[in-house]
Structure 1
């Protein structure tokens, strides 16, 4: 579940606190192109007010009309499909012959939405199993590689951050990066053993770790959904994190610094820590895309843009990468 859908759940809970009835729709399957991925949610209040989106708007309009007509006064969750045939697909703005499947759930106390939000507010992941016969939900620990699963009797969804970002250094730039990254579905972890930086750290939702960077990376066990970025400008800290991260399956490893400093860093990592050329080739540096960024929030945007491209396997053309900048030291701020 991404951050957008988390906001929808919060709105749903607020409506419930006001005494309103709410139906929660979850995308469980799509055929053809779809505006939102499987697992996305939409909430419809009893007067037709809506939060979220599962289509270009036509399906939402149909749900609103059904709510106003009383057709969604459900006693238990139901599975509905839109766009089974070409005529209906055109009506609901779906590709011809395409289909979008939803589970519509009348939200009540058995839905355990407040408990779900409490877990998510701590930045944790959780599995939710909804029984279709009676609308009762059970919260369970997440498993490895959790995916949405709909059977004849249950809907199983996994909520919470799908991606992890470990940042070395709790400086000003990290504050912007941590705040923005949480909106992009990252669980954000900050490593900084230095008292003068750690004592001033205050970004809600981003957890501060006080261990040495190499120990923190080792304990984190980076996987293909983990990014590690070194931002201290201190080789004694950055290099310790990078030597472990570059030997891991992390999908992205980056470090701040000019092209000259990056070359020196790679030489150190190779000479003192034995990293191979193949491992060093994975290092993004200067970190972030080349977009003229100079201020800390601008640089955070540049970093997250490159992270997003890496997540989806998109190769950024060399002139747009900081490392491909032909100007003298133009990437030094990154």
Structure 2
């Protein structure tokens, strides 16, 4: 690499931080390779949980979140990421190529955004209402790229319909043996390099107070946050103008933006995708947002009670499994 190119050690650190991005079932369906001054990012189809994500849309959203995390991590390291999305029309699994150029200045806010990558967790427990929401909502709307996705905040009056959509999804999949087997495959009582450990899941009673949560298998454990009778989070929906891979990738980038902005504001988040996986429940969400686009993902945003323990960080694949440098 030339003097104006990002060095391999810095790039490895940037990629490792970016890989803290959330993904469906923590499947981490990505692979990256560096050559000369370029970093190429690919979807790994064999890591897509197909019984859950039948079209592969959620896996591409996951890769979009990785792409934005990569941009944030590179900026904090002093490099600007210039991204070409879908640079090879004949190879749709080649999602992006990134070139890095030196940044003239790195602000404290840019460093704080990268720090938020390590602070963010997917918190599946009930939340208190976000105290700073009146401040955060206009910041989110001003920050996100509405060419990639739009954000709709659902009113409290929509809660019963959201809960119905969640119950409908679970009912339709109750006897889907492939889906149930896949859920068990991606959850584990032991920490490995991917998937969701039981420690990061909600018990049946905790999930009952959230109402819109996916029903993961998990061990029983003491009921946490008993002071919250139910979930009081704000629920937002990200929608796109289309339903293809390009729109899914952009939606993932916006998802990363929302999650990191909320984390910087001291709020907890949980991404919900089961409500948009089946046509019947997705139609309910589409009606709730006013038929303004294709609903892709929902996000719970809320406050964690003071002194409450932060959920554990979920595991990540070894860097050597997801990133390589070509001669």
Same-fold call, TM cutoff 0.5: no
Q: TM-score range by the shorter chain?
A: under 0.3
Asked which structure has the greater CA Rg, the reply is 1
Higher helix fraction (1 or 2): 2
- More relative contact order in 1 or in 2 (CA 8 Å, sep 6+)? 2
TM norm structure 2:
0.23
TM-score (norm 1): 0.23
